Amino acid sequence: MRARLRGDRGQVTIEFLGMTPTILVTLVVLWQCVLVGYTYTLAAHAADEAVRAGTASEGQAACEGAGLEDLPGAWQSGAHVSCGASGGFVTADVHLEVPILFPGVIGFPLPVDGHAGAVQEEED
């Protein structure tokens, strides 16, 4: 019996159970980093699409609609697209909320911004 109590049998199981919370927290933090990066990508893409529609002289409504069109539903709810034209130059700003763990549930209070600009096309 004494030899059995001094052995290290089962030690790996105990160490794994002790590390489980650390592993889970690490996975959650990594997933949140993925969501932040994906939100930045979506904001940049939405701004590019919006300014592309704005340069084709389709108007401000088309510009804003194009910015929201390709966004996944979870990001559309908190999205804001603003377009403007000045001196033959069209700009688009997109503001998205970064979701916390599950897209579409709740977002961080700090938005991610995407900005794009291009020269307006001339009509023939």
Instruction: State the residue for tokens 């999205």.
Output: 79
pLDDT for 106 equals 79
Six token digits for residue 37 = 């990066």
Give the position of tokens 């909320």: 97
Residue whose C-alpha is closest to residue 37's, from 114, 91, 115: 114
Q: Where are the domains of the chain?
A: 2-119
The predicted-structure confidence for 74-118, as pLDDT tens digits, reads as follows 888 888 999 988 888 889 999 998 888 888 777 777 789 999 998
Residue 116 CB neighbour total at 10 angstroms: 22
- pLDDT tens digits, one per residue of 24-67: 999 999 999 999 999 999 999 999 999 988 888 667 788 888 88
The C-alpha angle with vertex 63 and arms to 55 and 113, in degrees rounded to 5, equals: 105
> Do 98 and 108 form a contact (C-beta atoms < 8 A)?
yes
